[in-house]
Amino acid sequence: MKPLSALEKQLLSTIADIETIPTGAFNIREDGKLKQRNTTANIDIVSKQDKQGIDIIVKPNTKNERVDIPVIITKTGLTDLVYNDFYIGENADVLIVAGCGIHNPGCQTAQHDGIHTFHVGKNAKVKYLERHYGEGDGNGENVLNPTTVIEIDEGGYLEMETTQIKGVDSTVRVTNAVLKDKATLVIREKVMTHGKQFAETHFTVDLNGEDSSAHVVSRSVAKDDSHQVFNSLVNGNNKCNGHTECDAIIMNNGTVSAIPRINANCVDASLIHEAAIGKIAGEQLVKLMSLGLTEKQAEEEIVNGFLK
């Protein structure tokens, strides 16, 4: 396999903790094309024939394996759209690491839109990590629009952690999920915006199954003149438990709008929603500054801790 360049290593390390070519199942996409791929006895990755994207097929009873499917963009003016489907077999237990890193060297927009669909089989367990990051030498914008569709079968479990690190000028993040009996969904979103960046999130979860549950939490920091919008809707359509929460810190002229919603469509649905937006508490800054930190260093420590 062709070795990674310094730029490729830097982007892949940031979004997927990849320092060298992985040894397990992986698919690396660069500038709209397949760069390298590997499969294992239990995990297959197949290119779609009708559109850009891949099918990731995890065999039933697969345990403790990892799949890496990062995307990197190093050209200005490129718009990339992919459709990735994950088929997770019954009783499987797998870690999936995705995300997109953009290095935009010019003045045109570099954009990646990914539509990921998860078919989580009966009693299967998935942990999904997705990180987004942007940088560049020019003035071109970095745009990322991820869409995630989730279907969890009886007893299935999906834990999804999404992180927007920095450098993303515009993003609209959409997640729709449907859960069957005793299925569980846990979502943890972390978003950082600065400058004049914009980030909008939409979560919709349908708790259709008896004893299904969902825990959806967003933590975000809006700095400078950036703006964020958080929308969440949990529909309790059976005996179930649902919780949605948005916590945000605003700094400088940053603004955040939070709209958490719950619909109880069954008398046995137990649902909670929460939202909190505010600036960093003065006593937190004073305490850290008393330990020798500058105000800026204290703010950074508080923000980093908040987004962990």
Residue 56: band (very low, low, confident or very high) from pLDDT cuts 50, 70, 90: very high
What pLDDT, on a 0 to 100 scale, did the predictor assign at position 15?
Answer: 94
Total domain count for the chain? Answer: 1
152 found inside a domain: yes
Expressed as residue numbers, the domain containing 99 is 6-281
Q: What are 82's strand-pairing partners?
A: 114
The 10 Å Cβ neighbour count of residue 74 is: 18
DSSP per-residue codes, the chain: -PPPPHHHHHHHHHHH--SS--SSEEEEEETTEEEEEE--SSEEEEE-SSSSEEEEEE-TT-EEEEEE--EEE-STT-EEEEEEEEEE-TT-EEEEEEEEEEEE-SSS-EEEEEEEEEEE-TT-EEEEEEEEEEEESSS--EEEEEEEEEEE-TT-EEEEEEEE-S--SEEEEEEEEEE-TT-EEEEEEEEEE-TT-EEEEEEEEEE-STTEEEEEEEEEEE-TT-EEEEEEEEEE-SSEEEEEEEEEEE-TT-EEEEEEEEEE-STTEEEEEEEEEEPPPHHHHHHHHTTT--HHHHHHHHHHHHT-
pTM summary value = 0.93
292 found inside a domain: no
What pLDDT, on a 0 to 100 scale, did the predictor assign at position 303?
Answer: 81
54 found inside a domain: yes
259 found inside a domain: yes
Q: What is the pLDDT of residues 83-92, one digit of tens each?
A: 999 999 999 9
What pLDDT, on a 0 to 100 scale, did the predictor assign at position 50?
Answer: 94
What pLDDT, on a 0 to 100 scale, did the predictor assign at position 222?
Answer: 94
205 found inside a domain: yes
Residue 1: band (very low, low, confident or very high) from pLDDT cuts 50, 70, 90: low
202 found inside a domain: yes
CB 117 within 8 A of CB 86: yes
232 found inside a domain: yes
Residue 165: band (very low, low, confident or very high) from pLDDT cuts 50, 70, 90: confident
Q: How far is CA 185 from CA 165, 177, 245, in A?
A: 23, 8, 14
Q: What is the pLDDT of residues 93-142, one digit of tens each?
A: 999 999 999 999 999 999 999 999 999 999 999 999 999 999 988 889 99
